[in-house]
Amino acid sequence: MLEDLNIIGSQSTPTIQSDWQGGRLYMCGDSYPENSYELFGQVINWTETFLGDASHGLHLELELVYLNTSSVKAMMDIFDLLEDAHQGGRTVSVTWRYDTRNERIAELAEEFREDCTFPFDITPQQAQA
Amino acid sequence: MNLLTLRENYLKQRIMLCFNGPISRSLIEEIGNALRNYLNTQEAAPSSAMDVFSVYIEMTQNIRHYAGRQGYDDEQATATVAVARDDEGHYLVSAGNLVELEDGKALVETVENLAGLDAVELKKAYKQQLRRPREEEHSGAGLGLLDMARKSTRPLQASIEPLPSGRGFFSLTATI
């Protein structure tokens, strides 16, 4: 078992929390670091190790708002890991919640979903006043 | 220095925000933040505001990455960035930087080739580029350029001006 991630977000980086026991990975906020691999390398590593060592399912909960292309590339790596695990019979799923005023993030999520065959919900949420 | 002339120039060209100088990681974030706030007060459609911000980030980060790869010092690693509006209310996001002349010419050619692609072809090229291994990222049309081309309502415009130093000044404009 790998230690869980608990990364506090900043203006340009998302909050990232993992829960090995509960089979959950959560990310929220903006993601546009100059070098996304420095940040996402550890998330990719956690996901890969979880899918390799644990036997229970993994649910990815996303409330990401904006991603630069370098973060998009890192997210694609994570979705590819989930897709491989799904093909191998593991239970994996994604829920991506977005503010209804921001249709761009829904479009981005939709483009990721096109390449995935596991359950992938893109859930609009009414903005909080 | 005549600031009034500068100001009048900005107003005439409808420049909302402009920066010229050495560009650091934190400066990109701070200007980006100012840009977002400004777009909010202008009541820009959230999707347009997002596109302007996104193109600004890709342009400035491309400049930082290029300067880093070239090993440019602070003076050479400068950027000129401007966000303006045109007569039809479109946002124009422009950025320029010093480049090796040959690199600049190749970039202009890449941008010109992108102009011939429609939305479906751009999406295909973007997804292909996304799947290239990281070490090959700098070959072909970069992911950032393809992303900007997809967000721009008109083809991206690029130019390269040779400078006395032997280098060139590369400029790129996206229309949102």
Please name the residues between 83 and 112 in chain A that touch chain B, using a CB distance below 8 Å. 101-105, 111
In this prediction, residues A115-121 reach a mean pLDDT of 97
Does ipTM exceed 0.90?
yes
Task: Encode pLDDT of A95-108 as tens digits.
Answer: 999 999 889 999 99
Interatomic CA distance for residues A15 and A5, integer angstroms: 10
A85-116 exposure pattern, b = at least 16 Cβ within 10 A, e = fewer:
bbeeebebbbebbbbeebebbbebbeebbeeb
Residue B168 neighbours by CB under 8 Å, 6+ apart: B98, B99, B100, B101, B104, B105, B160, B161, B162
Contact B58 A102 (CB under 8 A): no
- Weakly modelled stretches of chain B, pLDDT under 50: none
Q: Is B28 helix (H, G, I), strand (E, B) or coil?
A: helix
Determine the length of chain A.
129
More confident residue, A27 or B41: A27
- What does the pLDDT read at residue B53? 97
Nearest CA in chain B to A101: B46
**Interval A22-27 mean pLDDT:** 98
Helical H runs in B71-170? 101-114, 119-130, 143-151
The residue written with tokens 């650091």 in the block is B24
What percent of chain A clears pLDDT 70, i.e. is strictly above it?
98
The residue extents of the domains of chain A are: 6-125
Q: Which domain holds residue B132?
A: 3-175
Instruction: Identify the pLDDT of residue A110.
Output: 97
Which ranges in B42-90 belong to alpha helices (H)? 46-70
Q: Is residue A127 predicted with pLDDT exceeding 80? A: no
Q: Which of the 8 DSSP states describes residue B2?
A: -
For residue A90, pLDDT beyond 60: yes
pTM (2 decimals)? Answer: 0.94
Q: What is the pLDDT of residue B94?
A: 98
Judged by a CB distance cut-off of 8 A, whether residue B12 touches chain A is no
Q: What is the pLDDT of residue B73?
A: 87
What single letter denotes the amino acid at residue A13? T
Rounded distance between C-alpha atoms, residue A46 and residue A14, angstroms: 16
Q: What is the mean pLDDT of residues A10-30?
A: 97
Q: What percent of chain A has pLDDT over 90?
A: 91
Encoded tokens for B101: 């002349």
Of residues A69, A76, A104, nearest to B58 (C-beta): A69
Which CATH number belongs to the domain containing residue B161 in this structure? 3.30.565.10
Fold of A6-125: Transcription Regulator spoIIAA (3.30.750)
Examine the pLDDT at A92 and tell me if it is beyond 80: yes
The amino acid present at B162, given as its one-letter code, is P
Among B17, B87, B133, B72, which residue's Cα sits nearest to residue A76?
B133
Structure tokens at B167: 């280098």
Tell me how close the Cα of B84 comes to any Cα of chain A, in angstroms. Answer: 22
Span A40-59, mean pLDDT? 97
Question: 3-class SS at B131?
Answer: coil
How many angstroms separate the CA of residue B86 from the nearest CA in chain A?
23
Into how many domains does chain B fold? 1
Q: Mean pLDDT score of chain A, rounded to an integer?
A: 95
Q: According to the model, what pLDDT value does residue A50 have? A: 98
Q: In what order do the strands lie in the sheet with B157-162?
A: B15-22, B78-85, B91-100, B167-175, B157-162
| B134 to A73: CB separation less than 8 angstroms, yes or no | yes
Beta strands in A2-128 (DSSP E): 6-7, 15-19, 24-31, 58-67, 92-99, 120-125
